[in-house]
A and B are shown apart, each in its own frame.
Chain A
Amino acid sequence: MSAPLVVSGLRKHFGRLHVLEGVDLALDAGKVTAVVGPNAAGKSTLIKCILGLVRPSGGAIEVLGERVGSDPHYRRFIGYMPQAARFPDNLTGEEVLALLARLRGGEVRHDGVLREALGLTAETLARPVRTLSGGTRQKLSAIVALRHEAPVVILDEPTAGLDPLTSSHLKELVRQRATSGAAVLLTSHVMAEVEELADALVYLVDGRVRFRGSLDELRLRTGQRRVEHAIAHLMREVA
């Protein structure tokens, strides 16, 4: 079976600034792939190119065989959780969820399970977004990303701002989505989280892929048992 998300030779230049330089990547179904790298490595730009928020300068992206272009249709295959969740202040949580469900054609599979797992009650969701804490907005954002059973799930620093209990529940939900067949792309600066969740890892520096493989391959190549030390080893190698 071909990978649900394939990125080949992806380039993005902002004027003279070359942010992505021929990135090749394939996300396997049923696996969590972590994209890690130092600041300004091109992780956010890579995600934005996949979502169509940034127009690539070259290369190609395919989601379930559909080439990413100006037609937004392919995005129904992607569940996305941004790093910072911002919603219209005066809408309630329930209204935000309803809008985003309607924009995707109304199909919602795991709403109830997710609400329960993340501790979002009907009372909380009936309040205007401006009265919700950053963590609660992050939970709302997680529901938006995970409830559609999208074959590709993109999570940008998903546990940032969450308390340890919710963070642990969210990681469990992400693992469940992967087990049920989704290809998950994860970015995180918390290496313990990467070690806990990821099956494969892509190390990006200056817009180029410097390592791509499973966590075991990473350990073998660097001679380090812990992912954090292995990444530090890679960073020293590149520098």
Chain B
Amino acid sequence: MNAARMVLGYSLSNLRRNWWVLGYGLLFLFLTDALFRFGGGGPRVAASLMNVVLIVIPLVSVVFGTLYFSNSREFIELLLAQPVSRPSLFTGLYFGLALPLALAFGAGVAIPAVLHGGAGLLRPTIMLLLSGVLLTFVFTSVAFLAGVRFEDRAKGLGFALLVWFCCTVLYDGVILLVAMAFRDYPLEPVLLGLTVLNPVDLARVLLLLTLDAAALMGYTGAVFGRFFGTPLGIAAAGAALLMWTGLPFVAGLRGFNRKDF
């Protein structure tokens, strides 16, 4: 894993000079600062940021990650021609991208939160940062999986955008359809299970519960609150998000190990 650390170090050096990553961090910095100045109190800021986190982070991670992987293809081939194992290289490249993206987001939100926020905002801010960082890792894994599976950049990007669309838009529609079609049945446990199957929904529920906005979700909110509001529930949700990071990462790594370049 020494080689993974070397590749990670150089990926970090490369990306910290990347204008897109800097711009991504500045976007969160200005947005969070503006929300604090003009958007009212702390919980409102966190609620407004929640929607940005749930839509923008998956989109940026998946698109930037897929393009980054496909643009690095020739350099990856050169690195593979050195005495470096494939798992080390894949791990180094993955963390070399996910960490700068997560750091850009984290710094962009944390700096204004520290400057403007009070102690009351600590818990929602931490949960927002945690969810954003985990979503970055999840969707960077998806991007790398797309990069490994599809030689054609357009196809890879199409696959990555499809996953993003399914997680952020389509999945909610399907859940709504299920809830409407089976409204006469006790659906809460099923909806609880379905939420775990989508990382974006999982992050959304966790954030809503942290912001004490579960009441907006009616009876379902109460059911979610009973489960995800407990330490066990939060641990289960965190574990499910980690599993969502691990699954596409392992699938991407397996593909990378078998891939003909």
Contacts and interface: CB of A to CB of B under 8 A. Distances in A.
Nearest to B18: A90
B77 A128 contact: no
A74 B83 CA distance: 7
A54 B81 contact: no
B72 interface: yes
Given A53-B81, A80-B81, A82-B77, A95 B17 contact: no
Interface stretch (B7-15, B112-120, B136-144, B197-205): B7-15
A109 interface: no
A80 B78 contact: yes
B75 interface: yes
Contacts, number: 82
Nearest to B260: A54
Interface string B1-34: 0010011001101110110000000000000000
Given A82-B77, A95-B13, A100 B82 contact: yes
Given A54-B260, A72-B85, A103-B6, A90 B15 contact: yes
A137 B156 CA distance: 27
A155 to B, nearest CB: 12
B17 A128 contact: yes
Nearest to A128: B17
Binding site of B, secondary structure by majority: helix, strand, loop or mixed?
A: helix
Interface of A: 14, 48, 51-55, 72-76, 78, 80, 82, 84-91, 95, 99-100, 102-105, 128, 141, 144
Interface of B: 3, 6-7, 10-11, 13-15, 17-18, 72-75, 77-86, 258, 260-261
Given A82-B77, A86-B74, A48 B84 contact: no
B19 to A, nearest CB: 9
Nearest to A105: B83
A55 B260 contact: yes
Contacts of B75: 86-88
